[in-house]
Amino acid sequence: MEFFKLKKDIKILSMIFTVIFIAAFSLTSTAAVNPLSKTDRLFRYGESSLRVGSLGGEVGVTDSTNALNGTKLSLGIDAFLSDETEFIRFQVDNAGKIKKDRKGRPRILVTNVTKKTTSFKRNAIILKPKKTKKKPVEFALTEPFFAATDFRHTNILVLHIDSDKDNKADKFPTYFIKDIKYRTIKLPKKYGVTITKKKGKKKKEKIGVAGVFFNKAKFPVITTYADLVTEGKILLVQVLEVPNAIIDLPQPLKVKDGWVAVGPPVNISTFTTLIDTTAPTSLDNATLSVPIFTDVVSALGISDSDIAVFRNKGSKLKTMVSISDTVSIDTITGIAKIKNVKELGTYQALGKLSGVSKSLPVITSLKARSKSNGNVEIKYTVVDVDGDKPDIKIEYRTNPSVDGSSGWKTIKTINNVKPSAKKAHKFTWKSKSDIGKAAGYFQIRVTPIKTINGKSVRGVFRTSETFRIETSKGAPKAPDKLKAKVKNDPDNEIDADGKDTNPPQVSLSWNKPSGNVAGYNVYRQARFRNGVEDTFKVIKTINDSSTTSYKDNSDNGTLTTSFLEAYYTVTAFDSSGKESKFAKPLSVASIVFGSYYYYGK
């Protein structure tokens, strides 16, 4: 592979000294204090985001309170990046020793260079060993440069592990980085910057550009949030800053004549934190699944054969991508799957309806904030590209569970609301009139409703983050001394369906607070291997005050996949239903196995 196309070695020499004197960013995260504060939220970009390398991966929306639930972008080998060399910020082969932290957990990776190391990489520069009589420079090669200011989620550690002793990597555990420190090591051999020049079909490698060699270098000591894999041999250590494939909810677009929207618009885009390179502008051999609102299809009397998927061309949905051999429509599961996706942009399921051209209204933003008197200030924006005035249905639920369809009760339906992308509508929910005096956690959902062809159909809803209402005194105290322990299964793999064969388990325990306690609610917000929970939701209600532990695992049906980070908290409730405040949350992480992919900003 040709990394540089420079005619003079002096240009390479200038690059060497640029690397030598650039300082690296190294940020350490802080512990969570309040699970609903901005600093404690899961770091995310859009609805869901995936940092993905050349071996592919999958990003999806798996939160059932999200209107894009069921959306999935699957990327095969080289479907996103055919060459990720420029995104590798640090790399070394046959070198890396795992140590335990102060709590005895294997979470420290000490990188170095051994006699078996064939090369190491810092940003765009590759260094290889060479026997030479030339004296090395007197100073050490410094640490690599990282462009992102949020180091923790933007630069990711990937280990290439040989677990079956065939000297080939077969597992790729991936980690968020908690901290990086550097130490100066003495190299066992002299290392020089390497370039490969191509003349016709032949390639010629030169080690030691401009006669510069190093025998000292600064190498990272990396601390992770999850346990490092101790089984198998580390063949390669990488810290990467590869781009994102992003799924989010865009502004709605106009549809073609004779068609109506029967699902939400889904936007696929890319993003990179690096300034010296660009994110991919297309895909190759990707598969995209987009949601279909089955209730809308049923209400309008549209058959499966009359549903197609369109892609935007400018501000309109013009390009039909529904070809029989590449698209499958399933109105039972509510998913349209498109194969061989190459273009970025907005995709949406449409249904054929003669003489009609209508899009669905979209709630593009929603915020809910409670006050001490029990009133909840709700702000939302609704957009309708047809200029129609939809009705707005506002709902609430208490103890919001992971089942996004359960527990909702109507507060009010507001008729003929004027849509606007810029001006937010405000509504005050006087909660005491519906729930009386209360102490607990709630969620708001806002759904636009529109008349199409004489039928009332719902548009694209949005749900709020979980928030607290406390107008009643005497709620129990929050449980204390919450503890969490993650158990990883070393035999876990990702099967052909993209599922964990042996998911991790999180064991939680806490102390019962004093006073009247009838039970507990266990809350979680996680960034899974291929999906994000949008806010804290109840994964388990325990109606027994003496049970002060819970196992979040596949046996209980609450944890079926590995995760890069997760926050857990617990509340206590009394016999009248009053719920305590959150216990101090805990942040934990599991080992994530799979292909060369991971979440980021």
Which of 333-342, 392-401, 457-466 has the weakest average pLDDT? 333-342
Give me the mean pLDDT over the 406-416 stretch.
97
Give me the mean pLDDT over the 388-399 stretch.
97
Superfamily of domain 480-597: Immunoglobulins (2.60.40.10)
- Kindly state the tokens that stand for 86: 């420029």
Query: Is the domain defined by 362-470 classed in CATH 2.60.40.2060?
Result: yes
Give yes or no for residue 395 having a pLDDT over 80: yes
Which of 9-23, 82-96, 317-331 has the weakest average pLDDT? 9-23
- Positive/negative CA dihedral, 51, 68, 391, 440: negative
Task: Write down the pLDDT at residue 299.
Answer: 97
Task: Write down the pLDDT at residue 323.
Answer: 54
Task: Write down the pLDDT at residue 326.
Answer: 74
Q: Which residue has the higher pLDDT, 391 or 341?
A: 391
Task: Write down the pLDDT at residue 219.
Answer: 94
Give me the mean pLDDT over the 170-174 stretch.
86
* pLDDT tens digits, 177-219: 888 899 999 999 999 999 988 777 778 889 998 899 999 999 9
Contacts of 529 (CB under 8 A, 6+ apart): 494, 500, 561, 562, 563, 564, 592, 594
For residue 21, name the pLDDT band (cuts at 50, 70, 90): very low
Q: Which residue has the higher pLDDT, 277 or 325?
A: 277
The length of the chain is 601
Give yes or no for residue 30 having a pLDDT over 60: no
> b/e per residue, 478-513, with b = 16+ CB within 10 A?
bbeebebebebbeebebeeebebeebbbbebebebb
Nearest of 260, 263, 251 to residue 357 by alpha carbon: 260
Task: Write down the pLDDT at residue 48.
Answer: 57
- Angle at CA 450, nearest 5°, toward 447 and 452? 145
Give yes or no for residue 452 having a pLDDT over 70: yes
Can you tell me the distance from the alpha carbon of 203 to that of 338, in angstroms, rounded to the nearest whole number?
41
Task: Write down the pLDDT at residue 56.
Answer: 72
For residue 244, name the pLDDT band (cuts at 50, 70, 90): confident
Task: Write down the pLDDT at residue 496.
Answer: 73
Q: Which residue has the higher pLDDT, 459 or 271?
A: 459
* pLDDT tens digits, 222-232: 999 999 999 99
Same fold across 362-470 and 480-597 = yes
Domain residue spans in the chain? 9-30+85-241, 245-352, 362-470, 480-597
- Kindly state the tokens that stand for 380: 């939302």
Contacts of 555 (CB under 8 A, 6+ apart): none
Give yes or no for residue 9 having a pLDDT over 60: no
Can you tell me the distance from the alpha carbon of 541 to that of 521, in angstroms, rounded to the nearest whole number?
5
Give me the mean pLDDT over the 122-131 stretch.
91
* pLDDT tens digits, 284-304: 888 999 999 999 999 999 999
- Kindly state the tokens that stand for 484: 């969490």
Which of 145-149, 155-159, 354-358, 385-389 has the weakest average pLDDT? 145-149
Residue percentage of the chain with pLDDT more than 90: 61
For residue 45, name the pLDDT band (cuts at 50, 70, 90): very low
For residue 62, name the pLDDT band (cuts at 50, 70, 90): confident
Q: What is the mean pLDDT of the chain?
A: 85
Q: Which residue has the higher pLDDT, 348 or 203?
A: 348
* pLDDT tens digits, 82-125: 777 888 889 999 999 999 999 999 999 999 999 999 999 988 88
Q: What are phi and psi of 361, to 5 degrees?
A: -70, 150
Ranges of beta strands (E only) in 314-374 are 316-320, 327-330, 335-343, 345-352, 362-370
User: What is the DSSP annotation of 458-507?
Assistant: E-B-EEPPPEEEE-SS-PPPPPEEEEEEEE--TT--B-TTS-BSS--EEE
Task: Write down the pLDDT at residue 146.
Answer: 66
In whole angstroms, how large is the CA radius of gyration of the chain? 27
Task: Write down the pLDDT at residue 500.
Answer: 87
